[in-house]
Amino acid sequence: MKAITALTLFCAMLWCAACTKEPEKPKARVPLPLGMSASAVAVQATEQGTRAYQSRRFDEAKTAFEQAVAAAPDFGEAHYNLGLVLFAMGDNDAAHEHFIEAANLAPGNKVIWDSPALRQYGNPDPSIPKKKVEYQGKKGGTGPGIH
C-alpha cells in the first residue's frame, strides 16, 4: 500500500513539474537575404527593408520589400520578407499570399517552410495551380514504371 501511495505521489509531483514549465518562445522571425543572382536593386531594397524591419519601422520595411519583390519577383525570399512585414502589420490575408508564393518559389528553403508565419496557415492553398509532373519511370518511359 505504501508503494502505491509513494508511486502516486511521485507521479503527481512529475505532473505538476511538467505543468509549471514555461512554454518555449517562438523563434524570432528575420528577413532572408536574396540569392547572389538577384539584381543589385533587389539586394539593396532587401537590405534596406531588413534594417527597417529590425528597427520595427514596418511602413518603411514594407515599401522596401515591395521594391525588392518588383525587382526580383521570382525570388521566394523576397515574397517571404514582404509576407513577414505584412504579417507584423496585421495584414494577414496579404501576408498569406506572399508566404504561399515564397513556398512555391523556394520549395527547398527550410526557413520559409518551417517558419511560424507560414506554418500557421497549413498546407498551401489547394486552389493554386500546380505543375503536373508525369512519372517517367526507368529510361524515360511513361506509366507506373513496369513495362
Residue 52 lies in a domain: yes
Residue 6 lies in a domain: no
Which CATH number characterizes residue 61's domain?
A: 1.25.40.10
Confidence of residue 126 (pLDDT cuts 50, 70, 90): very low
State how far the Cα of 33 lies from the Cα of 117, in Å rounded to an integer.
Answer: 17
Do the beta carbons of residue 97 and residue 57 sit within 8 Å? no
State how far the Cα of 46 lies from the Cα of 35, in Å rounded to an integer.
Answer: 11
Residue 69 lies in a domain: yes
Residue 3 lies in a domain: no
Domain that holds residue 96: 40-119
Exposure of 83 in the CB half-sphere (CA atoms within 13 A): 26
State how far the Cα of 101 lies from the Cα of 117, in Å rounded to an integer.
Answer: 13
Residue 133 lies in a domain: no
Residue 100 lies in a domain: yes
Distance from the Cα of residue 97 to its chain's centroid: 12
Cut 0.85: pTM above it = no
pLDDT tens profile 65-108 = 999 999 999 999 999 999 999 989 999 889 888 988 998 999 88
40-54 vs 76-88: helix axis angle to the nearest 10? 30
